[in-house]
Structure 1
Amino acid sequence: MKNFIFPLMIVIASSSYGILSTIVKVAMQHGFTSAEAITSQYVFGFALALLLFIATQRTIPKLNKSGAITLALAGALTATTGIVYGQSLNYLPASLAVVLLFQFTWIGLFIDCALKKRLPSRPEAISLVFLFAGTILAAGIVDVDLSAIAWQGWVLGLISAVSFALFIQINSRQVEGVSMIGRTFFISIVALLVISIALTPEIIWNGQLFGAGLWKFGLALGTFGIILPILLFSIAIPKVGGGLASILSAMELPVAILVSMIVLKEELSPLQFVGIALVLIGMVLPSYLSMRQGQKVQ
């Protein structure tokens, strides 16, 4: 049972990311822009992280140079993924943007293999086949004409995938002397700074955040987009490794699709349900095969 605790944490963290797109869409239905919604996510993510930090930490941890660089990169990559993915939606249909983002699964695995100077294991390779096929079907782009899509959309979509894959790898590094809550707090500071430069920090003082009711969406986005995933990723990724974490994080896709179906009343085709099933199989395979191999060795 203990073998599944850390993979389960990654599944929960990635599932919380899957809720975000629906929350942003609901915020847009209430008259807010995607940039305003995303900015509110990082504002409340920082505020919640600050409260947790004050409530649980008695002293400010001393970071060495390596730890500071790790946390700064993690925060910058968290913000960059949100910014670039949001920009890609200006050029891409949402379904194709999701497909491009989810290329982080194989990108993250290959980065992990390159850093550790190894080849993908057989379970990982089989898993990627299921994930790739499932992603294409689940996103519903089989019958979509892609010829008229601008090149900027392809580039931005793939950059978001690389950014998220790098975030997973950076977050797999241990930082000495910093608790998980402290780690979340420092990451949220850097992410808020990057978002404030790139998007719409004026929501803090122009009345949008509280006067217009944006805070409700910001609170939900901050909880499910900053606090919960960063805490769980920080605990679990060092235990399972960046390669398996990239595969397990694919849970974000089926959750995103199912939540949009329930909340936004979007229809799903039979092929999309097949795709979700393939993604789930691809996620479970590495852990299952590794467990069976371990049992044989014993």
Structure 2
Amino acid sequence: MKQWMYPLFVIIGASSYGILSTIIKLAILDGYTAAEAVTSQYFIGFVLALLIFAVTHRSIPKFGGGWTLVLAGLLTAITGTVYGQAVSYMPASLAVVMLFQFTWIGMLFDCVANRRLPKRIEVISLFFLFGGTILAAGVIDADISAIPWQGWAWGMAAAVSFASFIMVNQRQVTGMDTITRLFFMSFFAAIATAFLQTPEIVWNGTLLSGLWTYGLILGAFGIVLPIFLFSIGVPRVGTGTAAILSAVELPVAVTASVILLHEALTLLQVAGIIIILGGMILPSVTQRRLGMRKSHPRR
């Protein structure tokens, strides 16, 4: 597999996360709660992973990897839960900004794990991402004085949890293919969700009343696709680069809200999206230029 495909897998996986908030909002407009929508996401996501495993393997899955897969599944469920709590205390646009703190947190985790200092281009890229996030989320004119401390705490918890999820996904499990890994991670995420959210939707008829349509989309784009692609891409590109590439989630979220929810899009938000995309590709462009200089030195 060509090297350029691994960053692309991370970008596509992060992009799939970007549509989740819009689908959850659509579910709320249809009369369901955010907790019910999130629960349907993890339960149906596990069912989809189970079906994919059954079709491709036709055997009983053999567990391996120890706490890596358990922790990854748990972090997946925790991220969805605490982010939902953050949204309940603050505007969704501000909650997105808090979630996007995972970019520098993920970079910090990578530096500590590999005992290195951040590269200059990585720091510059993070400045681009942070500035673009503020513009794209449309929070410049927002009043933050009335937001309780719980909102900031839940938002930061979501950022730490997501950064941790990316880092754990960097660990490879010897002897386990990606689909089996997807099955176990979605299984542990569903178990955690049963304790953290509203599992009663399964037996009280809510899931089959129409919620399953939203759960199917959320499960496919919030569980199956990102876990599958992250499991392939993140070990190859590393936690720091994956955190930067995952910033594509916000432009996708803004675009999805404009298309599906008909929300207004300002010039500042467009500028923010462009800045975010620039911050994402900056490290790759710089690294490629350095590689070309090394392979073609001046005489």
Q: Shorter-chain-normalised TM-score: which range?
A: over 0.9
Shift of 1:60: 4.0
Q: Shift of the alpha carbon at 1:241?
A: 0.5
RMSD, aligned CA: 1.1
Alignment correspondent of 1:217: 214
**Correspondence for 2:224:** 227
Equivalent residue for 1:143, pick from 141, 144, 154: 141
- CA shift, 1:134, in A, is 0.3
Shift of residue 178, structure 1, vs aligned partner: 0.9
SS of the residue aligned with 1:24? helix
Offset of residue 253 of structure 1:
0.4
Query: In 2, Cα distance between the equivalents of 1:294 and 1:60?
Result: 45
How far apart in 1 are the matches of 2:63 and 2:19? 33
Cα deviation for residue 23 of structure 1 reads 0.5
Check if 1:119 corresponds to 2:120. no
Unpaired segments ≥5 residues, structure 1: none
The corresponding residue for 2:57 is 57
Instruction: Note the C-alpha offset of 1:56.
Output: 1.4
Residues 86-165 of structure 1 aligned to structure 2 (within 5 Å) = 86-165=84-163
CA distance in 1, matches of 2:199, 2:187: 14
Identity of aligned residues (%): 58
Unaligned runs of 5+ in 2: none
CA deviation profile, 1:108-129 (whole Å, cap 9, x unmatched):
0110000000011122111101
Amino acid at match of 1:2: K
Distance, in Å, in 2 between the alignment partners of 1:275 and 1:222 is: 29
Aligned twin of 1:8 = 8
**TM-score normalised by L of structure 1:** 0.97
Deviation at 1:45, TM superposition (A): 0.4
Cα distance in 2 for residues equivalent to 1:293 and 1:58: 47
Map 1:1-298; keep pairs closer than 5 Å: 2-60=2-60, 62-64=62-64, 67-210=65-208, 212-298=209-295
- Letter of the structure 1 residue corresponding to residue 154 of structure 2: L
Using the alignment, how far apart are the partners of 1:206 and 1:78 within structure 2?
25
- Tell me by how many angstroms 1:58 deviates: 4.3
Q: Structure 2 counterpart of 1:259, which letter? A: A
SS at match of 2:19: helix
Aligned residue-pair number: 295
Q: Is the 8 A contact 1:61 1:177 kept in 2?
A: no
Report Cα offsets for 1:157-185 as digits up to 9, x if no partner. 00000000000000000001111000010
Q: Secondary structure at the match of 1:2?
A: coil
